[in-house]
Structure formats: structure tokens, C-alpha cells
Amino acid sequence: MIDASEHFYHDDPNSGPEDVRTKLKDVEYFFLGNGLIQAAVQWAPAGEGTPIGLLVMNPDRLRKKREALTLDPETGLAPTQLALKVGGLVHTARAGRCRVAWDARAAVPTVVATWSGGGLKVTERFSCPTWSKPVLVREVTVSNPRGARVACELATGAGRQMLRRRLTLAPKSSRSAVVGCTLAAAADRVKLAWLPRMPVDAACRDFWAGLARVQLGDTRLDHFFRASCAQLPVAVSRRGCIDGSIWQYNLEWLRDQAIIALALTLIGATGPATTVFDRLLRKFVTPEGDTLDSSEKRNPADVELDQNGLLLCTLKDYVLWTGNVDLVRRHWAKIAAAAEFPLQQVFRHPSGLLMNCREFWERSRMHGIEPGAEMIYQCYVAHGLAAGAVLARLTGHEAEAVRWEAEGAKLKDAFLNHPRYRMHDRRGFLKRRRLDGRVLETVTASPAAQLPRAVPLGGRGPHFINPDASSALPIALGVIPPRSPLARRTLKSLEVLWNQDWKHGGYGRYHVTSEPDSPGSWPFASLFIARAALEAGDDAKVMRVLRWLDAVNGAQAGTWFEFYGQRLAPPFPQVGIVVWNWAELIILYVQHILGIRPGEHGLEVNPRLPKPLKSASARLTFRGQTLGLNVARNGDFRVTVNGKPLGG
């Protein structure tokens, strides 16, 4: 049985300087890196924390925000802020008087901060312009609009390190200085130094120039895609390590990472995607086919069975998108084991469904999850076995292809059509059935869960578990027809999750009464529903989710927290930046709005532009070739590969 302590953390946001808190008022985080170094520019415009602070992390060592290498335990990020001394007075960026944004035209992801002090204008440009060194570069330009010469001094630091440089500016002129912040991984520290010039790295520029471009004719929606493309690769270390939620859990999940690897594939970041899949197959799948979650191996009652199917689904899409079948050949034993693992007798029920005591969002027996069938486990394993059959055919394993296709079809038929155990009723998809076939409607936590009374599941019941946002996934994945009565009923029932115990919008991950953590709306759960709604033709729901994402903290940077609500921390961790959010946005844009999906027998293109969008264009890389796509509102579209019509 899972120990309750696994869910508890001791990082008190009220201990230490304000900068240790992840959720400062109106804060935005802009993530930069190159796989060797990871950094975030903190913009705190509302007066809490350092207005422009710099967090530098080692992407291979997952830690809390207070443990960032540039965050001082007493002064926070204050030493990292740039200070400008003019005429004996020291000026810094002030809350509400500075501006931070992405430079959409830069060759590599670049964050620009602008502010004024002492009659001078300051522009700071943060980037990681080299692919070969763990260095973040901060280029500072001071402009003198006056008609007289001005002497000034720049100062910035990290912890006890401090750099200073004097500049003299002629009338109506500008001067620049470049600071390099280098990660010394072995020593677990950073080193600051003035650089003679900006580093130039063709490999770095080539990587970023090769990523996908998508334009939907809407400034904010285009910004979301650019920001996701700029930051998703940054979350991945050079060896494939990814924190599920930056600064929050400091743990890794096969589920999250497989989805992230798929999104990396879709944007053309093939190198990082390959690294992630290779590492998952080496380290996150056991020889028996079990998969790791929360960096842990579980007993059969507590495994997340959807992970096996999800790995096969995403790996199939990766192979069909890139043409890299060698990865499957090298890891065939692990892939075959992952496909076979859910088919063991320990998970089997006479109905043909798969049973255990864990659910998709990681609640377990101590949260009242009885032994039974979780709908999304059936869905993903069935879908994954069909994907595994494709991988088997591509690599000459015909016997496995026949077996997995048959097993997947039987499981799909059971969860959709079994007279007693099918995973849906008049409401649409159900979350869970008990062993006797009855729907699990409510749960009661045991004392072993040690839940605070302040959380919904820790208080008085009833605690409902239906509806659940994962019910949208069979629609999004195409497991059922998206405009079928079952899909319509499911999407209608999911509306209960919008604005449950809050008024700021967004869908919760499930019925709030069974929440063992803090209530709130979840971006990636909301995007599950947006993906399904788009396939079902419900454009209003899609745009409502996207407009909501544009209204919450994180929209300016294009980085979103795990959920939006008041986190009870401790005992729960401070809320972090979930990498999955970027992946879900990319999947929504590429697989659903643009409708690009590689099939076993060719590329499928079926765009679905939600109203009021009128057109879309994209440039992607498919099997090493440039794929250009143009879509018109009237449903006509044109696809070209290297300037020629697709199929021509």
C-alpha cells in the first residue's frame, strides 16, 4: 500500500525570503536553457519578491525553488537583480515600473526586460545562445537620452558573488556589457563573469530555427505555441531528465515524459525526444514491463496501468513521425514486456477488464479507491496494444502484432460494450466500476491517508468521483467517434467540472468533493477537454479554455502552474510549473487544430479550425522534410512538402 507520507512535503512558503514562494502575486516565469543549464527569469510586477530575479538550476538535479543555485537563503533573488548607480544613487527595476517579455524575433529564445533609472534606460536580454556550454548570458544595454555625458556603474551578482562595471555614456548613446552565468555541475554552483562578447553557436541557432512554426491568426494563441516551443525543450536535461512539475515534486513520471517526448517530436525537437524515449525504455520500464511513476516501482495493486498503453501510443507516433524504427529494434524486449504487462492474470477480471486499486490521478486505497476497473486504464491499454501491433509489424514481429491487436480489440470491446461492465452509462463515460460491476460513485478516505480536514476529501461527505476529466481522452484519442451520442453525453457531464468551488474559470481534474489536495482548476485537465471538444465540433468550449489560459497568471510568459487555487502548503508542496501543460498545448495545435497525424500507411491531415479562427499556417518537420500547411476557414486546405503538393 502507498504510504501517505509520499504526498506530504515540508517546504513552508512562509519560511525565508519572499522569493522562495512559487506563487508570488501576478508572477511570471520565463524558462531558458540548453539541456546543460536551466534558468528562469522571474518577473514579479506586484511588489512581492524581487521584480526581476534570475533563478539558475541544474536540470539533472530536481529541487525546490528555494534550492535554486542563485537564491540566497536570506536575501532571496535580490543579489541577482541588476543595480544601476548614477550620481551616487542606486536604481533597480521597480515593481510596476518594468516590463518583461519574450523577443519573438530573436534567433534563440530570449527574454527582454526594460526599465529606467537615474534618467537612463536599461534593457536586459537573457538567453542561452550556445549549445555546448552550461552558460546563461545576460546582455545589458544602458541608453543615455540626455544631451550630456553620464557616468554610471552596473552591479549584479548571485549569492555572495558580485560583479561591477563602470560605463561612461556619451550624449544620446548606448553602451552594452555581457554577463555570463555558468553552471559548474560537479561543484553544484554557478560562476559569474563579464564576457568580452555574446557567444555565437551555430548549432544552437540551427536547433531553434528548425522547430515548428504555427500561426492561427490570433496574436495570443500564436504566442502560446511559440512560448511552448521555446520552453518545452528547456525542461529536458541533456540526458533526458524532466521534473514533472518544476520546483514542486522533484520527481519523474513515465506518463508525463512520454507525452512530453511526443510533443517534442511534433515540434521537430527530435534529438531531445529520442533521448527521452531512450531513457524511459532503459530506466523507467522494468524487464518485467512494469513502469515507474513518481520515480517509484509499485506493487500490482498500485501501478498506473495507463502508462503502459500511453508509452506504446506515443512511441508509435514518434516512429511514424520520425521514421526512427531503430529505437524500437534496440529496445524491443522492453517494449514487448510493457505491452504484455497489463495482460497478466493479476490484473484480469472475468469481464475482460483490467483491475487494481489505483486511479489515474494517483488516489489509492487509502483515499477510498476500491478494487475495480478504471476507465482510462482500459482505454489507454487497448489503444496502446493497437499501437504496439504497429510497432511489431514495422520490426518484423508478426506474432506479437497479431496477439496485441486481438487483445486490444477484446479489451476495447469489453469497456465499450460489455452488458454489465461497460465503462459508460446515460451520463457518458464513467470513471470506475467495482469488482461486482456497480459504479463507484463516492469514496471515503481512511485515517491512513492523514488528510487535513481543510481539504474536501478530509471533510464531511459525500465525496463524488464522477465526472472525471480523463473521460474526455477516449474522444480526443479517437477511440470512439467524437460526434457520437456517447461523446456528447460525456462532454455534457464534464461541464460540472467548470468553476466548481471557484469563479476564475477552468476545469477541475475531477469532482471537487473527492479532492484530497487543494481544490482548483487544472490547465492540462482543461486541455484534455478542449482536445475532445474540438474533435466533437464544440468550438465554444475550445476557445473558452484557451481564453481562460490567457486570463490566468502565466499567460504573459506562456508558463502555467499545475493548478489555480489556494494550495495548503505544507503539508502539500508549493505549486510548480507543470511541463505537461506545454506538451498538451502543442498536441492540441498540431494533432487537433492542424489535424496532422502520421498513419501506418501515410500522413493523415484533417484540420479543424475552431471558430472564430479563419485560417492557419504551419511549418513542421516530418521525417527530415519540411512540411508546409495552409488551412482556410471554409475547410479547404493545401499541404506542401518541400514546395510540392503532398502526394504529388
User: Could you tell me the pTM of the whole model?
Assistant: 0.97
| Number of alpha carbons in the 13 Å side-chain half-sphere of residue 213 | 13
Q: Answer yes or no: is 489 within a domain.
A: no
Distance CA 213, CA 624 (A): 15
Cβ atoms 422, 382 nearer than 8 A: no
In whole angstroms, give the CA distance from residue 147 to residue 123: 20
Q: Own/partner pairs for 633-641, CB < 8 Å, 24+ apart?
A: 633/609, 637/605, 637/607, 639/605
Q: Is residue 377 part of a domain?
A: no
CA-to-CA separations, 10 to 6, 63, 103, 262, 293, in angstroms, rounded: 11, 13, 37, 33, 21
User: 211 lies in a domain?
Assistant: no
CA dihedral 513, 562, 210, 277 (to 10 degrees): -70
Does residue 212 fall inside a structural domain?
no
Specify whether the CB–CB gap between 179 and 195 falls below 8 A: yes
Q: How far is CA 575 from CA 239, 247, 516, in A?
A: 25, 8, 15
Is the pLDDT score of 33 beyond 60? yes
Cα 193 from Cα 407, distance rounded (Å)? 60
3-state per-residue secondary structure call for 27-52: CEEEEEECCCCEEEEEECCCCCCCCE
At 616 the three-state DSSP class reads strand
Task: Give domain status of residue 323, yes or no.
Answer: no
Alpha-helix runs per DSSP H in 95-211: 202-209
- What number of CA atoms fall less than 13 Å from residue 434's CA on the CB side? 9
Grid cell digits, residue 251: 520527481
Identify the bridge partners of residue 602 per DSSP, sorted by sequence position. Answer: 599
Q: Is the model's pLDDT at 34 over the cut of 60?
A: yes
Q: Is residue 149 part of a domain?
A: yes
Where does residue 85 rank: exposed (0-12), middle (13-18), buried (19+ CB within 10 A)? Answer: middle
pLDDT at site 635: 62
Residue 647's pLDDT is what?
Answer: 59
pLDDT digits (tens, 9 = 90+) for 611-640: 999 999 999 999 999 999 998 877 666 666
Find where cell 479547404 sits.
Answer: 636
Instruction: Report yes or no: 22 and 575 within 8 Å, Cβ to Cβ.
Output: yes
Question: What is the number of H-type helices and E-type strands within the chain?
Answer: 14, 26
Contact present, 122 and 86 (Cβ < 8 Å): no
Residues with Cβ within 8 Å of residue 34, at least 6 apart in sequence: 128, 130, 131, 134, 204, 234
- SS percent in the chain: helix, strand, coil, step 5: 35, 25, 40
pLDDT level of residue 6 (50, 70, 90 thresholds) = confident
**Pairwise CA distance, residues 395 & 604, whole Å:** 22
**For residue 119, what are the domain limits?**
4-201
Phi, psi of 79 (to 5 degrees): -65, -25
- DSSP 8-state assignment for residue 590: I
pLDDT for 576: 97
pLDDT at 534: 98
pLDDT of residue 519: 96
C-alpha cell at 517: 489536495
H/E element, 531: helix 523-536
Contact in structure between 113 and 126 (CB atoms under 8 Å):
yes
CA 78 to the chain's CA centroid:
29
d(CA 253, CA 293): 4
- Cell 493548478 -> residue: 563
CA distance 606 to 377: 27
Q: What is the pLDDT of residue 642?
A: 64
Q: For 426-471, what is each residue's pLDDT tens digit?
A: 999 999 999 999 999 999 999 999 999 999 999 999 999 999 999 9
Query: For residue 443, is it within any domain?
Result: no
Number of domains forming the structure of the chain: 1
Exposure string over 389-408, b if 16+ CB within 10 A, otherwise e? bbbbebbebeebbebbbebb
Average pLDDT over residues 383-406: 98
In total, the chain counts a number of residues equal to 648
Amino acid at 366: M
Q: Beta partners for 378?
A: none
pLDDT reported for residue 70 = 98
Q: Give mean pLDDT, residues 216-226.
A: 97
pLDDT tens-place string over residues 62-115:
999 999 999 999 999 999 999 999 999 999 999 989 999 999 999 999 999 999
* Residue 355 in domain: no
d(CA 559, CA 226): 11
- Residue pair 242/236 in contact (Cβ under 8 Å)? The answer is yes
pLDDT (average), residues 167-185: 97
Q: Three cell numbers at 505?
A: 474559470
| Widest distance between CA atoms in the chain | 87
Average pLDDT over all residues of the chain = 95
126-152: b (≥16 Cβ within 10 Å) or e: bbbbbbebbbbbbbbebbbeeeeebeb
